[in-house]
Amino acid sequence: MSKVHYRNCNLCEAICGIEIKHENGEILSIAGDKNDPFSRGHICPKAVALKDIYLDANRLKFPVRRTKNGWRQISWEAAFDEVTAKIKEIQTCHGRNAVAIYQGNPSVHNLGTMLNNRELLKCLKTQNSFSATSVDQLPHHFAGWAMFGHPLLIPIPDIDRTDFFLILGANPLASNGSLMTAPDVANRLEAIKQRGGKVVLIDPRKTETARVASEHHFVKPSSDVYFLLAIMNRLFAENLINLGKLKDFTDDIEILREISKEFSPETVEDITGISASEIRRLGSEFGTAKSAVCYGRMGVSIQKFGSLCHWLINSINILTGNFDRAGGAMFTAPAFDVLAAAKGGNVFNRWQSRVRRLPEFIGELPVVALSEEILTEGEGQIKALITSCGNPVLSTPNGNQLDKALENLEFMVSIDIYINETTRHADIILPPATGLENSHYDVIFNAFAVRNTAKYSEPLFVKTDGAKYDWEIFQELVHRLSGETEHLKSEPPEVKLDLGLQFGKYKLSLAELSENPHGIDLGALQECLPNRLLTENKRINLAPEVLVKDLHRLKTGALTVSEDFPFALIGRRHLRDNNSWLHNSERLVKGKNRCTLLINALDAERLNLQNKQMVKVSSRVGTIEIPCEITENIGRGVVSIPHGYGHGRAGVKLDTAKKYAGVSLNDLTDERVLDELTGNAAFSNVRVRLEAR
């Protein structure tokens, strides 16, 4: 007889409720859970990948060791012995920083990893800690820290109540919301229009989201910062500044007035490609809307001026009083509050990378520095690397260089379920139990959700005999590396989770969540300022010195392009993709080739390109060949390639992904192009040239 299991899908940030019908260990169907108070039955096509990953013949279930004759299964005991011995030996010989760690994006979707990875970092005491944060979202955290006192104080657009949603460089219809957890986002955006509101999209590409937006404006890549300054200019010029209650605890409005003075719509229209009259209109409409919220994501984060953009986005919301109020940008109040014991203080530039002196932020160095820190000889050189569920060869800039760098390591261990483009370099792979074998509570994305809800998912399946959970792997490494094996015992993440829930705002418990398998609705976002601020003086800092000083990079010519590389390359994501990690699901990757170069029809005509013709694309760091897809839906002078592809490398054990290999965008992106303030990679507006093949 079939049974039903309810849980959250943890494949992306949207945390949709799903209903899994199963019988005798076999999954019969995966559907949306209509009773989930947050996602209301919505799921996307990726949800089925939970089954595909669980059944994937390529998924590792036991530790493996790389040998001259290929991969060999070894016992957990032997694996832990070797890993800890090598890490200790390398740190003893070459110092703490000789061992680096890279944590990939899936880490953050995993309860066991999120509640245990800090202990491993503490134990390693290395300054060479890297993660996917500096791939795509560091500017959000930086602006949150500089303005509100903590990197996790990221304001979330209250899209369920807003009347005017201004989106820059985000494609929620493909992502289902990012740093804005918003399952069923298409209906949520539709509802804005149904209640008489407006959705305006600013993006170099007419994306899937443009189809549901009230209007779309092409913007030149990396010029959003000028657009935002011009909007601010209009707000001041038209006396649309009204902080409301925020004025009692907000500083330095006049500095923003001065800064924005020189950025009139007329001065930025050529730079941005958006006419002065349209910028004026948008500024007025935003400033006079009953409620409005400005939100930016990937497109504005992964560019040279990412941190400036997020500062200005927050500032525009604050200046118009659309902050900490219904329909504006708000902070969440999650049941398990990652900020419960948080303190403010400096988390920036306490140390720098060895080679390029790039700044640390929240204990991490920018990942653009990883390959040079491995390749450059000298004291402090990285000799060993631990990766946790990441594939930086495909997901970080100049992937080819990192690919080569990994060959130079003395030792590498990966906590991962696959032998992929990155982990193929590992000496040992420690594979954790996966998705459906794990319990889940999203400790991170509930903190970025457009509504407060809480849900705990029991494991659906018992893990394979002898397999280990992520938290068991992390705890075992910590016990052995710290030498404290005697008095420490394994502790499942549920212990910390239950405590956090009980001491949280709603005084929930794990038992209560277990009795509510569809989840518990905790209501719309709530006003919480100034209490939630973590700045020293409990005030909003509208003009942090570190950001104001960075404005000097906007001098004329900041976006000047070399004639050798006349096109601006941007990335993109499809609803059926999630970075590189779902490409081993045949039903998600099959069908029309999605790994294509989008090019504007007029540009294609000028280059005499035909649809699907192979094009050689070259940047400073590399060259790839890819079929082109001619379209009206991308700005002139801009081309786009999706990220997460490029599975054709030797030694990768991903049968399906190799069949649909595609090419890697990051064999073109450049580790030297970054947001110079924070070191976040600048994937957007990589300069390339095209040649027909």
Q: Which residues pair with 628 in a beta bridge?
A: 597
How far apart are alpha carbons 178 and 183 in whole angstroms? 10
Minimum CB separation of residue 3 from ligand SF4 in Å reads 21
189, 294, 340, 543, 672 from 330: Cα distances, Å: 17, 11, 17, 19, 35
Please say whether the beta carbons of 493 and 459 come within 8 A. no
Is residue 176 classed exposed, middle or buried when 0-12, 13-18 and 19+ CB atoms within 10 A define those classes?
buried
DSSP for residue 373:
H
**Window contacting ligand SF4 (CB under 6 A); options: 10-18, 279-287, 329-337, 676-684:** 10-18
Classify burial at 671, counting beta carbons within 10 Å of its beta carbon; exposed 0-12, middle 13-18, buried 19 or more: buried
Q: Which is nearer to ligand SF4, 43 or 271 (CB)?
A: 43
Helix 470-482 × helix 76-94 angle, to 10°:
50
The reply on whether position 652 binds ligand SF4 by CB under 6 A is no
Asked if 580 interacts with ligand SF4 (CB under 6 A), we say: no
Judged by beta carbon, residue 46 or residue 383, the one nearer ligand SF4 is 46
How far apart, in whole angstroms, are the C-alpha atoms of residue 491 and residue 472? 8
What's the token pair of residue 172? 């929620």
**What are the tokens at 616?**
């050689």
Complex with ligand SF4: residue 38 or 130, whichever CB lies closer: 38
Q: Is 27 an interacting residue with respect to ligand SF4 (CB under 6 A)? A: no
Question: Could you say whether residue 46 binds ligand SF4 (CB under 6 A)?
Answer: yes
- CA distances to 559, 639, 645 from 564, rounded to whole Å, are 15, 15, 26
User: What is the closest distance, in whole angstroms, from the C-beta atom of residue 575 to ligand SF4 in the complex?
Assistant: 8
Residue 182: count other Cβ atoms within 10 Å of its Cβ: 28
CA–CA separation, 246 and 320 (whole Å): 10
In the bound complex, what is the minimum distance in angstroms from residue 385's beta carbon to ligand SF4? 29
Q: Is 44 in the site for ligand SF4 (CB under 6 A)?
A: yes
What would the 3-class secondary structure string for 251-267 be? ECHHHHHHHHHCCCHHH
Instruction: Give the burial class of 25: count Cβ atoms within 10 A of its Cβ; 0-12 exposed, 13-18 middle, 19 or more buried.
Output: exposed
Pairing of strands 250-251, 540-541: parallel
Residue 175 or 680 having the CB closest to ligand SF4? 175
Provide, rounded to whole angstroms, the least separation between the CB of residue 646 and ligand SF4: 22
Contact call for residue 15 and ligand SF4 (CB under 6 A): yes
Q: Which is nearer to ligand SF4, 11 or 406 (CB)?
A: 11
CB of 660 to ligand SF4, least distance (A): 19
The reply on whether position 5 binds ligand SF4 by CB under 6 A is no
CA dist., res. 599 & res. 569, Å (int): 10
Among 6, 11, 106, 260, binds ligand SF4 (CB under 6 A): 11
**Smallest distance from the beta carbon of 211 to ligand SF4, in angstroms?**
18
CB closer to ligand SF4, 435 vs 662? 435
Which listed residue (6, 16, 431, 504) binds ligand SF4 by CB under 6 A?
16
Q: Which residue, 218 or 581, has its beta carbon nearer to ligand SF4?
A: 581
Nearest approach in angstroms of CB 453 to ligand SF4 is 13
43 is an interface residue for ligand SF4 by CB under 6 A: yes
436 touches ligand SF4 (CB under 6 A): no
Q: Mark the segment that binds ligand SF4 (CB under 6 A) among 42-50, 68-76, 385-393, 610-618.
A: 42-50
Candidates 43-51, 391-399, 406-414, 454-462: pick the segment binding ligand SF4 (CB under 6 A).
Answer: 43-51
Residue 666 contacts residue 623 (beta carbons within 8 Å): no
Structure tokens at 270: 């050529």
Please report, to the nearest 10 degrees, the dihedral formed by the alpha carbons of residues 521, 525, 529, 535 taken in order.
90
Rank residues 250 and 585 by Cβ distance to ligand SF4 and give the closer one.
Answer: 585
**Rounded to the nearest whole angstrom, what is the least distance from the CB of residue 43 to ligand SF4 in the complex?**
4
Q: Does 12 bind ligand SF4 (CB under 6 A)?
A: yes
Site string for ligand SF4, 47-76 (x = CB under 6 A): x-----------------------------
Farthest-apart Cα atoms in the chain, separation:
72
Q: Are 214 and 199 in contact (CB under 8 A)?
A: yes
What are the structure tokens assigned to 482, written together? 């710290």
Count of residues that bind ligand SF4 according to CB under 6 A: 12
Please identify, among the stretches 40-48, 439-447, 503-511, 585-593, the one whose residues bind ligand SF4 according to the rule CB under 6 A: 40-48
- Closer of 43 and 542 to ligand SF4 (Cβ): 43
Select 15 or 595, whichever has its Cβ closest to ligand SF4. 15
**Dist. CA 53–CA 236, nearest whole Å:** 53
Q: How far is the CB of 178 from ligand SF4 (least distance, A)?
A: 10
Least Å distance between CB 184 and ligand SF4? 9
Residues 163-222 that bind ligand SF4 (CB under 6 A): 176, 183
Nearest to 424 by CA among 595, 646, 576: 646
Give the shortest CB-174-to-ligand SF4 separation in angstroms.
10
**Residue among 43 and 235 whose Cβ is closer to ligand SF4:** 43
Binding site for ligand SF4 (CB under 6 A): 9, 11-12, 14-16, 43-44, 46-47, 176, 183
